[in-house]
Structure formats: structure tokens, C-alpha cells
């Protein structure tokens, strides 16, 4: 992920929303460490926070992150999905309902199939879908599961994903 985020300039024109599986008990400085290495603004998403361009938002540990129709975040303590809370599928499905064909979803390294159900919904609504090339992933199961759905449009290494994001600024 750092290989992608560090390529984004401070004036990146799109919001980026990240779900990383983290333990609820984990004291993490993830956002602070990434901010020191990246130009784009990085923060943890808050309840009812408006989603703004040029910010990378992380789902808080032990909360599902949802997108509301009014363009704000919502946090949920509902049961884990695919053994995960936060769940990528929960974010993808709610984001697909709001952004439809304007949504770009990327599945990166991970050790389960989280994200594969949501990626199908995004593709079905006309959104763009990308998976990390499994051979470049520390844990290839998540990108492989997404690719197996038949809904992934491109399989790219992290640097190519970063370049793809940069190219979206031109559109």
C-alpha cells in the first residue's frame, strides 16, 4: 500500500478510502507513519465525516466503514464479514450504491476472500475494478479471490496501480 500512496501528490483530486484488517486491540500508528512518508493527507475516517477529495481515509480498527448517500461515512459494529471487521465487502457494497459507475475499487494483498463479493457488485454497477497482481502480493489470497470472480478488469503491480490513480487526475 505504501508503494501506491507515496506516489500520490498533495493535490491528488480524488478521495481514497482504505480498509486494512487490523486488530481492535492493536495500538496503531499506521496513519501517522504513512503521513510522514506521503504527500497526500492521510487520516482515520470519523462518523458522519464528509468525504473530501485529496484525502486518504482509513477504516478505524474494529468498525465497518460504510458510505452514506449524503457523501459521509458511517461506522458500524455489526458482526464481522469474512471474519473481518472492518470488512472490505461492506465498504465496497455501500460505495457501489452511492457512486455506481464512478467508483474505482482496488483489492490488494490479504489472506482471505474479503472484497470479492463487493468487487462483483461494483463491476455489475459499471464501476472500475483492479486487483493487485498476486505474484507481487505478500498475501495473494485476496487478489486471487477477487480475480476468480471474473469481475476484475485489470491486474496490476503496485506501481502500475499508483500510476493508474495518477492518470485518473487527468479525467
Per-residue pLDDT of the chain in tens (171 residues, 90 and over written 9): 889 999 999 999 999 999 998 777 655 778 888 999 999 999 999 999 999 999 999 999 999 999 999 999 999 999 999 889 999 999 999 999 999 999 999 999 999 999 999 999 999 999 999 999 999 999 999 999 999 999 999 999 999 999 999 998 776
Which residues span the domain enclosing 115?
2-168
Residue keyed to cell 493508474 = 164
φ/ψ of residue 105, rounded to 5: -120, 135
**Among 152, 49, 34, 4, which Cα is nearest to 92's?**
152
> What pLDDT is attached to residue 29?
79
Closest CA to 20 of 53, 51, 48, 57: 57
Q: Is 42 helix (H, G, I), strand (E, B) or coil?
A: strand
Looking at the structure of the chain, the number of domains it has is: 1
User: What does the block give as the cell for 38?
Assistant: 506521503
- Indicate the pTM of the whole model: 0.93
What pLDDT is stored for residue 42 in this prediction?
95
- What are the start-end ranges of the E strands in 48-148? 55-58, 64-67, 73-76, 104-107, 128-132
pLDDT of residue 90: 97
Cell 487490523 maps to which residue? 22
pLDDT at res. 30: 82
Domain CATH number, residue 26: 3.40.50.180
- Residue 106, SS3 per DSSP: strand
Q: Measuring CA to CA, which residue among 115, 97, 12 is closest to residue 57?
A: 12
pLDDT of the residue at 31: 87
Amino acid at each position: 500500500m505504501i508503494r501506491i500512496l507515496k506516489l500520490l501528490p498533495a493535490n491528488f483530486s480524488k478521495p481514497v478510502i482504505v480498509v486494512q484488517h487490523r486488530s481492535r486491540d492493536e495500538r496503531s500508528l499506521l496513519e501517522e507513519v504513512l503521513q510522514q512518508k506521503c504527500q497526500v493527507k492521510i487520516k482515520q475516517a470519523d462518523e458522519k465525516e464528509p468525504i473530501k477529495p485529496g484525502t486518504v481515509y482509513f477504516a478505524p480498527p474494529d468498525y465497518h466503514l460504510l458510505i452514506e448517500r449524503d457523501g459521509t461515512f458511517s461506522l458500524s459494529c455489526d458482526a464481522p464479514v469474512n471474519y473481518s471487521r472492518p470488512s472490505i465487502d461492506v465498504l465496497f457494497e455501500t460505495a457501489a450504491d452511492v457512486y455506481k459507475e464512478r467508483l474505482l475499487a482496488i483489492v490488494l494483498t490479504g489472506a482471505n476472500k474479503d472484497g470479492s463479493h463487493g468487487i462483483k457488485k461494483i463491476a455489475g454497477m459499471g464501476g472500475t475494478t483492479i486487483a493487485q497482481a498476486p505474484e507481487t502480493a505478500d498475501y495473494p489470497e485476496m487478489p486471487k479471490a477477487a480475480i476468480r470472480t471474473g469481475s476484475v478488469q485489470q491486474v496490476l503491480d503496485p506501481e502500475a496501480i499508483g500510476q493508474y490513480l495518477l492518470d485518473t487526475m487527468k479525467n
